[in-house]
Structure 1
Amino acid sequence: MASSMVTSSQSPTPPRPNLAFRRLRGQRSPAEFAAAVRRAAREIGESVSCDARYVGRVEAGEIRCPNYAYERVFLHMFPGRTLSDLGFASRASVRGRRGRPPTETQGTYEPYDTQDMQDPQDPQDPDETYDNYEESDVLRRAFMTGGGATVAAASLGPLRLALDAAAAGRPVRRAGTGEAGALEEAVRRIRLLDDRHGADGLYQRAAAPLRAAYALLDAGATRQTTADRLHSGAGELAISVGWLAHDSGRFDDARSHYAEALATARVTGDDALEAHAFCNTAFLARDAGRPREAVRAAQAAQRVARPLGSARLMSLLALREAGGWAGLADRTGCEQALARAQAYFERGHSDADPEWMSFYGEAELEGLEAQCWSTLGDWRRAARHARRAAELQDPHFTRNIALYTAELADDLARGGHPDEGAAAGLRVLELLGEVQSSRIQTMLAATARVLLPHRRAPGVSAFLERHASTPRSA
């Protein structure tokens, strides 16, 4: 349990309940209020994964200051009020506090909150003060640098205990809510870092919390509800680690992780997890040159997902099927699947939308459609959708901006517009300082080969020279 990490010498100060926020909730239950928060977020174009647990943590005072996304949503919900009026502390007062492991009252971290974290680059110095920005730069460095720090060491105390015990051959104790919460947090943080920085720097380090998750499953849980959370969290973590392998070109590893998630879903009867595993399996099959398998996996995902009630999930799964049909050069099948994807998308968000789908908006819809037209050789249409995808993408998703722009560069180059393609390629190269993705580097390399016959053009030569001098991921 999380409480075992706190020694008597630490004497953590209990959080002060946020009574002002509790009054604003009124007669609504925490779940009803969380749904209202998600609706308000959609009204202003934000994406937050608010649930009853988050509301409870705010009211208990565990979240002293919300992240910027939640701040915008709360101020939209309660116009004329300040964060102080809502019972929160100022952002400056919660940054730069001394790091300490989470206590039972603190709970696990919400993915974007400003919270205390010890710098994983210097685990021997817990008293040093660090600024903790909302994008969790401390944790990002733990992933992106070549040192021995892992995500578990950075902020996931209960998982770290399981990891250390398993590595030392000691029995892993039965899991409680602290371990389940830490596992769910691991999934969120990995997704957050991938959105910003791509997969190449994350994959090897993300395997550590996955090993810890399955060690916890083997040890069992104190309650059935906790066991269910552990199975779901372990499956989602396997998918997240599989995606990191997928995006960094390790297709065999990705296939193994997705299969592991699918097996976990089948054992526990978790339809939502099964749909997610099939969704990623379809995407991997398309990228690995197995389009018929992509179609079958996407169709299986749709059968499982239909009763879940999420139109946005059905839209994404139809796009996965469209990608398979495009790979089979079946234009009719692709167009029909694209039409279904658009129709489902237009039904809008619902409370049934899975948390992991926060990346899926109009930009991703456009980007995946661009990939379909590109596969079918319709470069003009592909470029139009890729350009729109890059324009629509939230700046938070740095990796996707780079991906869509790389798609645009290739479509323009192949469509007879070498100067425009080179200009788009240069924009991608500017982003590679922040993003590490073998997928994007492979796309740029293909674009460079297409542009090589046009190397005498000034814009093209600048791109080719810059591309040749850019280091590749190991």
Structure 2
Amino acid sequence: MASSRAVPNLAFRRLRGRRSPAEFAAAVRRSAREIGEQVACDARYIGRVESGEIRCPNYAYERVFLHMFPGLTLADLGFAAREQVRGRAARAPAGPPPAAQITIRNDEESDVLRRAFMTSGTATVAAASLGLGGLAGAGLGTIPAPRAGRTFGETEVEAVEEAVRRIRLLDDRYGADGLYRRAAEPLRMAYALLDSGTPARQSTADRMQAGTGELALSVGWLAHDSGRLEDARSHYAEALATARVAGDQALEAHAFSNTSFLARDEGRFREAVRAAQAGQHAARQLSSARLLALLTLREACAWAGLGDRAACEQALGRAHALFGRGPCDADPEWMSFFGEPELEALEAQCWSALGDWPRAVRHARRATALQNPHFTRNLALYRAQLATDLARSGALEESAAAGERVLDLLGEVQSSRIRAMLVDTVRILSPQRSTPAVAAFLDRRAALDRV
């Protein structure tokens, strides 16, 4: 919550000019993509900067702002010196003992750790660096656990929102297997805070509902990707219930998207169709063509699972038309993964389910070629899909080569989903061991299993 002593950042406000906060936030996100950064900038963040609540941006935002306004310094942008802000953040307020707290890091510390764990090589270290493993240290803030007569406020809401961003960032890089158990505790605490009472401001209550639901979906996805499908179903149902109670259509659409994906993976294709269609119904008033495109792709994949080629092709056509409208400010933050590579990958899955291997291979190739190497997990996933489709199409050496490239990433990415796809590739290729490239891939895969 902004301090009563916060000084409005008039310099930053002048730089925004006649653009609305939402338009300026969109420009910030575009600039971040230009330099390979990821920032979850929205109109509310711009408002916090202009009000003086954010006195100095984290390192990621600093790089983006200096890229947007070459030749200017942070001081020119109206920000305080980082050392001054860091000095204040290091003095933690008094509170209950550590056992009764969950922890978050300030913006600067979060970004330092992000860059550190990006090169650490293990999901375990990365999860601990996020505060999901119980680490404590300098620069940590604290959120008191709910107590009698006390409810949550802006600080607690921001901690929940930050936990969601960190989990997504780690999953993009490392996959879910090493993160799921550590992520369950922040979710438990978020629901405890939500149950502690209603804050004075309805906007704070709404954000806590939305943040907790998104956290449930993030934790559910970690369960889903690590093969804990019953746990995933439970978390997705929690999020859907939270959305319904709050009347939050954006959260409801997200919950139905994940539920459809899970139902398809479980072989419950008609349920997957219904969930995808329910998500589209919830999303129609949200002005995000990209969200509708993703939900329509979920429907297409479900029709493919049912073997209904005509219905699948119709849904794919609608999805491409929606995707072609382009991104907009109404696109949810969680959809940062959904670009052209994911569109191609999901279409590849449709043709694969329908047994049309040439088309599946064509789209899987596009997905791997277009994917930003920064998103290591998705790159490994797309390559695993390509390896399987190539194997089924009879392109044995190419399949083995694609499989080798997946193995190159498995030391960094921990995903049961990807390992299961490789098992499928191994099963198809095993009878073709007489091909040298296939034998080399199978031997390397077996050696990794023994480690």
Structures share a fold, TM > 0.5? yes
1:449-468 equivalences under 5 Å are: 449-468=427-446
What is the TM-score of this pair, normalised by structure 2? 0.85
Judge conservation of contact 1:214–1:234 (CA < 8 Å) in 2. yes
Q: Distance in 2 between matches of 1:66 and 1:256?
A: 35
- CA 1:447/1:88 → structure 2, altered by over 3 Å: closer, same or farther? farther
In the alignment, does 2:136 pair up with 1:144? no
Q: CA deviation at 1:394?
A: 1.6
User: Percent of aligned positions with the same letter in both sequences?
Assistant: 65
Q: Distance in 2 between matches of 1:98 and 1:342?
A: 50
Q: Which residue of 2 aligns with 1:220?
A: 197
Q: 2:178 aligns with which of 195, 201, 209?
A: 201
In the alignment, does 2:426 pair up with 1:445? no
Q: Which residue of 2 aligns with 1:266?
A: 244
Tell me, what secondary structure is at the counterpart of 1:132? helix
Name structure 1 gaps, 5 residues minimum.
4-13, 118-130
1:221-300 equivalences under 5 Å are: 221-223=198-200, 224-300=202-278
Once the two structures are superposed, residues 57-116 of structure 1 have per-residue CA deviations (whole angstroms, 9 ceiling, x without a partner) of 445373635545x4565455435556665456899x89x999947779xx9768xx6x12
Once the two structures are superposed, residues 447-469 of structure 1 have per-residue CA deviations (whole angstroms, 9 ceiling, x without a partner) of 01111111122211111111112
Tell me, what secondary structure is at the counterpart of 1:383? helix
In the alignment, does 2:44 pair up with 1:53? yes
1:243-392 equivalences under 5 Å are: 243-392=221-370
What is the TM-score of this pair, normalised by structure 1? 0.81
The aligned length equals 436
Once the two structures are superposed, residues 218-258 of structure 1 have per-residue CA deviations (whole angstroms, 9 ceiling, x without a partner) of 10132222111111111111111110111111111111110
Once the two structures are superposed, residues 241-297 of structure 1 have per-residue CA deviations (whole angstroms, 9 ceiling, x without a partner) of 110111111111111110110111111111111110000000000001111110010
- CA 1:352/1:147 → structure 2, altered by over 3 Å: closer, same or farther? closer
- CA 1:472/1:210 → structure 2, altered by over 3 Å: closer, same or farther? farther
Cα root mean square deviation, aligned? 3.6
Q: 2:388 aligns with which of 410, 417, 433?
A: 410
Which segment drifts farther, 18-27 or 300-309? 18-27
Q: Distance in 1 between matches of 2:45 and 2:235?
A: 29
- Name the aligned partner's letter for residue 183 of structure 2: A
- CA 1:431/1:138 → structure 2, altered by over 3 Å: closer, same or farther? closer
Q: Which residue of 2 aligns with 1:34?
A: 25
Q: Distance in 1 between matches of 2:450 and 2:269?
A: 28
Q: Distance in 1 between matches of 2:126 and 2:340?
A: 35
Q: Which residue of 2 aligns with 1:62?
A: 54
Judge conservation of contact 2:123–2:414 (CA < 8 Å) in 1. no
- CA 1:427/1:79 → structure 2, altered by over 3 Å: closer, same or farther? same
Tell me, what secondary structure is at the counterpart of 2:290? helix
Judge conservation of contact 2:152–2:199 (CA < 8 Å) in 1. yes
- CA 1:67/1:338 → structure 2, altered by over 3 Å: closer, same or farther? farther
Which segment drifts farther, 339-348 or 137-146? 137-146
Once the two structures are superposed, residues 8-27 of structure 1 have per-residue CA deviations (whole angstroms, 9 ceiling, x without a partner) of xxxxxx99976543431245
Q: Which residue of 2 aligns with 1:419?
A: 397
- CA 1:174/1:83 → structure 2, altered by over 3 Å: closer, same or farther? closer
Judge conservation of contact 2:296–2:319 (CA < 8 Å) in 1. yes
- CA 1:268/1:89 → structure 2, altered by over 3 Å: closer, same or farther? closer
Q: Distance in 2 between matches of 1:453 and 1:243?
A: 34
- CA 1:447/1:15 → structure 2, altered by over 3 Å: closer, same or farther? farther
Q: CA deviation at 1:157?
A: 4.3
Q: Distance in 2 between matches of 1:171 and 1:138?
A: 40
Tell me, what secondary structure is at the counterpart of 1:219? coil
Judge conservation of contact 1:265–1:273 (CA < 8 Å) in 2. yes
Q: Which residue of 1 aligns with 2:157?
A: 180
